[in-house]
Structure 1
């Protein structure tokens, strides 16, 4: 087996190859003057482990080209971050179910698919190859342990993310809760833990994805006003659109961390170990 990766997943792909003690295939990427993409990868093995986050349209096209380039090899596709996965329903007539369209396109030519904390588990059913989702909850818990906080409170940003926060908290034996909004007036809303007092506590807000960070930044300010000792944020997929990372730091968060499913300077912990464990099974 060899490991190949697309351009936006070079670092994670290299880490996965190292964790599995497998050779990494070098791939050349370029664009033609008309914007069409080109790649040339090394000779595939009988089996290929293809690591590719589809963080934008270019990386999605690169992945489709890479799958075709590896034709004849048995491909295990690892999608650390799957773009278009958040639209899993048709809300208005004429809309595509984007997650289904992308999953079907990426299924052609692959024998197995592994995702990482996909936003909706139902998306897995759209792949036309066996698909499974793995969680980075243990890695996030290890990062939280490294903060050196005294009995941190693990908070989900809403009730829908409470199960993931509880999964992280279980790894460290910590208390967990979710944030809730209380409308105080027509214009004033209070955001606070649903049932646990944050005063004097070190707070870690966890989620699968941070996009713009707007709600989280507002919540962090209210938690600090409510007496929290410190507020941190951690997510699996750090999108940080529209200046989201800077917004969170400007809001006074003590730290903001994400994994390397989307590679950036905020990538503080890695998905490589959990991906390697899934491949070894």
Structure 2
């Protein structure tokens, strides 16, 4: 097996290669004058692992080109961050189910696929090949453990994320709850943990993705008013659109970290070990 990657997943691909003990193949990327992309891979094997977070449209096209470049080998696709996966339903006639369109396109030329903490696992059914979801909740729990917080309270931003938060909290046997929004009046809303008081607690809000960070920033301000000793945030996919990282820090969140599924300066947690383990386990079945 050899590993190739798109431009925005180079670091994670190198880490996965190191974990699996397999070669990382150099790929050169350039553009034609009309803007079309060109790439050329080094020598491939009879089995290729393609690591690509489709964080934008260019990375989606690069992924398609990599799959085609490796057309003489058995290909496994790892899409740690799968773009368009949240567009998973049709609300009005004439809309595409974008998640389905992307999954179908990425299935051509691949034997199997893996994603990391996809927002809705139901999207996996749209792949034309066996597709599995990998969770890095234990890795996020490990990172929180390294912060040496005193009796941290792990909070999901809503009830839908409680399963993920529970997986994180299980690492240290920490308390876990989810935030609940209560409308006090027409223009006043209170956000607080459903059952556990945040007063005096070191709080860590965990989620699969942080995009705009608006709700999280509001929740952080309210948790501070409720007496939380400190507030931290950790997520799998740190998208941070529209100045989200700054918004969160300005709201008093002491640290904001993400994983390398979406590579950026806050990627202090790696999905490499979980991906390598999933690849090995799948090969043994």
Fold equivalence (TM over 0.5)? yes
Cα-to-partner distance string for 1:221-260 (whole Å, 9 max, x where unaligned): 1001110000000000000000111111111101001000
Cα-to-partner distance string for 1:89-110 (whole Å, 9 max, x where unaligned): 1111100001100000000000
The CA distance in 2 between the partners of 1:31 and 1:189, in whole Å, is 50
1:45 alignment partner in structure 2: 45
2:157 alignment partner in structure 1: 157
The CA distance in 2 between the partners of 1:34 and 1:95, in whole Å, is 29
The CA distance in 2 between the partners of 1:277 and 1:263, in whole Å, is 20
The CA distance in 1 between the partners of 2:202 and 2:2, in whole Å, is 43
RMSD: 0.6
1:197 alignment partner in structure 2: 197
The CA distance in 2 between the partners of 1:119 and 1:182, in whole Å, is 24
1:183 Cα deviation from its structure 2 partner: 1.1
* 1:159-238 pair list within 5 angstroms: 159-238=159-238
1:68 alignment partner in structure 2: 68
The CA distance in 2 between the partners of 1:18 and 1:163, in whole Å, is 30
2:106 alignment partner in structure 1: 106
- Residue 94 of structure 1 aligns to a residue whose secondary structure is coil
Give unmatched runs, 5+ long, in structure 2.
none
1:43 Cα deviation from its structure 2 partner: 2.0
Give unmatched runs, 5+ long, in structure 1.
none
1:188 Cα deviation from its structure 2 partner: 1.0
- Residue 150 of structure 2 aligns to a residue whose secondary structure is coil
- Say how many residue pairs are matched: 281
- Structure 1 stretches of at least 4 aligned residues deviating more than 2 Å after TM superposition: none
1:35 Cα deviation from its structure 2 partner: 1.1
1:89 alignment partner in structure 2: 89
1:8 alignment partner in structure 2: 8
